[in-house]
Homo-oligomer: A and B are copies of this chain.
């Protein structure tokens, strides 16, 4: 499931949320509380004049850092290994090549309008920093439909394997739950818990909540959808009998059914018109030649007064170096493992400890049969069992003829999908999941594109998670240990990226981590300036 990252974080935080767990750890004195916080940026224009900063990685963290520091007058250089900005923010279109470290290579052969976001694909309305950048940079947004009552849930264990509309599963479940609870109340089973005054209110509530009959029975609801739509003349609507609660329990739809309630999955959500990479390209347009593409970092060294970074200039093949007063290192931790560096032992140790998840997606071009034959526009459908657990329908260019269907989004490590022996087997599993939800339509899927972030050079993983060194039951390991090393500077090197935030795997985390890093640098520069001025006055 796509939620593996979340599962991880939920384990980290247990029932109270990982934030709560983090706070608990702090209160127990198990964690150092770093000094600087991600305050709103308040750098004066010109306050960075004369200070050189080298920024490693042109993903969202690196781009945000260069953009904001540039406003304040810092002289920045971003070293980006690839010929494009964005890092994991990557939109695959006609002609895009996906090249794996293991030699697998695919090229998208799609219509011009077709695309899918191989990395982030959603902007929740609470991600104010990223939404703010879209506004500031003029990136048009549209609604990303993350919830649709017409989307489907499928389980081999119930309903003969037939996919069920979410409207039906959601509302029939609520109906049964309400009926059962009303029964208990009327049997006086909750007299301890519910006051006499609330008893009648609870029953009234449950009738509305579950759409119960006057006798508190649940016999189906229009909310669950119809077997015949209402029409003209004699064409009345025909309701469906409710799904049986016993069968619903067998089906075990719950994870998919409650997906929309996850805080960062809740409507309203957005996406840039034309692909998520419209954001890094908008930053890149502002930054111009501040970003050096095709410049993979080869070493990160400390000098007496700052940092020295060695990199390859891919055009000439020459090895070059750049010196700067400060470094913002916004490379994935997986990549830091491979780069010779002068990091202090505590940071080296932290880097060694961290493992990454390897997220994957499989995407197909197809006639929009989900719209044309199922009235299904955007949203996600879920398959309870199998290597591929979800379908994610495009929210862009709705009603057009063809679209790109993401059939499979999850992680390769510790998953059934990851154990499949070949790309062909993975693509087959993706098609099989579509067939389970939309029987007969598997054959309409064309030109699959499969991305596995663990195999993508310069990423080698998707986000901090359960890497190869993962010890089951030791889920707290990241926020407990390594995290605190990345959120404080190593001499003049400041780390950034979503892994320096509590919003792992989201662009918002990367942007806020860079805000925090540049706030820390800015404070240090101002203090140095003031103390420097004081010293020169003393002379």
Contacts and interface: CB of A to CB of B under 8 A. Distances in A.
Interface string A229-250: 1111111111100000110011
B141 A143 contact: no
Contacts of A38: 231-233, 235
Interface in A258-291: 258, 261-263, 266-268, 270
Contacts of A223: 258, 261-263, 266
A527 interface: no
A2 to B, nearest CB: 16
A268 B236 contact: no
Q: Which of A211, A261, A509 has the most CB of B within 10 A?
A: A261
Interface string A156-181: 00000000000100110100011011
Contact of A181 (B181, B211, B226): B181
Contacts of A225: 263
B201 A502 contact: no
A189 B189 CA distance: 6
A26 interface: yes
A195 B250 CA distance: 13
A147 B233 contact: no
Interface in A174-208: 177-178, 180-181, 183-184, 187, 189-190, 193-195, 198, 201-202, 205, 208
A33 interface: yes
Given A395-B143, A516-B232, A249 B205 contact: yes
A369 interface: no
A135 B36 CA distance: 54
Contacts of A167: 261, 263, 266
A194 to B, nearest CB: 8
A37 interface: yes
Interface in A383-400: 395, 398-399
A209 B177 contact: yes
A170 B266 CA distance: 12
Nearest to A500: B232
A501 B222 contact: no
A234 B149 contact: no
- Copies per assembly: 2
A355 interface: no
Contact of A487 (B184, B232, B513): B232
A377 to B, nearest CB: 4
A502 B126 contact: no
Interface in A1-55: 15-20, 22-23, 26, 33-34, 36-38
A522 interface: no
Nearest to A26: B234
16 contacts: A16-B239, A20-B237, A20-B238, A33-B234, A125-B148, A125-B376, A143-B378, A180-B184, A222-B263, A223-B266, A231-B503, A231-B512, A232-B516, A233-B516, A268-B376, A268-B379
Interface of A: 15-20, 22-23, 26, 33-34, 36-38, 125-126, 128, 131, 134-135, 141-143, 145, 147-150, 167, 170-171, 173, 177-178, 180-181, 183-184, 187, 189-190, 193-195, 198, 201-202, 205, 208-209, 211-214, 219-220, 222-223, 225-226, 228-239, 245-246, 249-250, 252, 254-255, 258, 261-263, 266-268, 270, 375-379, 395, 398-399, 487, 500-503, 509, 512-513, 515-516
Closest 8 CB pairs of A and B: A19-B237, A189-B189, A19-B236, A230-B502, A149-B266, A184-B184, A232-B512, A38-B232
Given A19-B230, A37-B231, A233-B516, 5 more contacts: A19-B237, A145-B267, A232-B512, A232-B516, A237-B502
